[in-house]
Amino acid sequence: MSDKRQDYISWDEYFMGVAKLSALRSKDPNTQVGACIVSRDNKILSMGYNGFPIGCSDDELPWAREGEELDRKYVYTVHSELNAILNYRGGSLDGAKLYVTLFPCNECAKAIIQVGIRELIYADDKYANSVSVLASKRMLDMAGVRYYAYHTTGREISMKL
């Protein structure tokens, strides 16, 4: 048996890299999030990143995190996971996997469950104790969606995120 180093990246490294690259498309100055949906046989089905809906100006809507509710980004932003789901034009996502750079909120969890995604791999869970993420995990558990943290291997391409 050989101790030869693997000269290629794993599927998890590859698809998380695609999610991280997608995140770089986001114009959000604070939190860039990317997602990549993959079929059971490791084919990329769709990608997405957080941003405003098509036709809504990135220059006219606010990117602020504080202030009056209508002056903050939260009521306008489409999350990367939902964008990836909405971008998919191929039919069913039943049994697919989702790679995402930030653990999904409760609203995205609803969409993930509804479209039949069965596995979720996330890079960061920095809001783990928020009501939104706790609710998300409760629903994902109830629906039988498996989720786990992506563990950095050190072989990834370095990207600012």
User: Is 81 a known active-site residue?
Assistant: yes
3-class secondary structure per residue, the chain = CCCCCCCCCCHHHHHHHHHHHHHCCCCCCCCCCEEEEECCCCCEEEEEECECCCCCCCCCCCCCCCCCHHHCHHHCCECHHHHHHHHCCCCCCCCCEEEECCCCCHHHHHHHHHHCCCEEEECCCCCCCCHHHHHHHHHHHHHCCEEEECCCCCCCCCCCC
Of 13, 66, 69, 81, the catalytic one is 81
**Which positions are annotated as active-site residues?**
81
